[in-house]
A = this chain, B = another copy of it.
Amino acid sequence: VAQRSASNGRTGRPPVTSRAEILAAARRLIDRDGWEKLTVRRLAAELGIGPTTMYHHVRDKEALLLLLLNEYASQIPQPELPGDPKERIVTATIAIHDALAEWPWAAEVLTANGFVGLFAASSLWPVETIIAATVETGRTLEQAVDVFRNIWFYTVGEILVQAHSPRRAIERDPFFTDLDPAKTPHLAAIGNDWPLLATHPNYAGGLKSLINGLLPD
C-alpha cells in the first residue's frame, strides 16, 4: 500500500488505517463488548494504532457514531411493500423498528443528534415510503411530515424504553408494593404483577393503533 501510494504521486508517511477499518473495528467492539465500551482509546487499541490517530480519519467521536449509524441504516433491507398505503406504512416502519431494536444504541445516537436530517440518502427509503403513502391517502405534504414524526416519536420511545428495561421481570422484587389503595387502587391491585403485564411487547399492535388514529378512513 505504501509503495502504491508513492507511485501514486502521494508523499509522506503511509497510512496505518482507514475510515473503513475504523468503522469495522467500532462495530466489532460494540458487538463484542457492548455499546458503552466504544471509546476512542479502546477503538485505537482494537486497531493497534495510537489513541489519537482516529482524528486524522474522522472529525470526532460524534461524527464516528453518525458514520456508524448510516452504515448500519443503509443495510436495512427494503421489504416487499404492500399496495395499501396504511399497510405500507406499517411494513416500512416495522422494518426500521426491528433494525433499530437489534441495535438499540443506534436509536440512542439518533435521538442524541436531533433528527432524521442526519440520515444519509441511502437510509431514507422508509421516510420516503411513509410520506408518499400518507400523501396517497389524500393528505398534504405538511400533514404527511406530521404523520411521519408521530410515528417516529412512538418508535424511538418504544426502542429506548425497551432497551433500558430490565430483561428479567424479577430484578426489582418489591414493585408497586406498599402503595396506598385509597390513592392508587389500580396500581395497588396490580402490585408485583406490573412487570408481567408490561413485559410482553406488542410494538406492531400499538403502531397500528397509532396509524389508525392518525389516518382515520
Contacts and interface: CB of A to CB of B under 8 A. Distances in A.
Copies of this chain present: 2
Interface string A146-167: 1001101111111011001110
A127 interface: yes
B213 A209 contact: yes
A202 interface: yes
A132 to B, nearest CB: 5
Contacts of A185: 128, 132
Contacts of A128: 183-187
A68 to B, nearest CB: 18
B209 A141 contact: no
Contacts of A186: 128, 131-132, 135, 141, 144
A97 B160 CA distance: 17
Given A154-B153, A164-B113, A125 B183 contact: yes
A93 to B, nearest CB: 13
Interface string A202-217: 1000101111111010
A127 B185 CA distance: 11
A20 interface: no
A153 B190 contact: no
Nearest to A184: B128
Nearest to A140: B197
Interface stretch (A10-18, A38-46, A49-57, A114-122): A114-122
A210 B26 CA distance: 38
A-B CB proximity, top 9 nearest = A213-B213, A157-B157, A153-B157, A209-B213, A156-B157, A128-B184, A150-B206, A153-B158, A212-B213
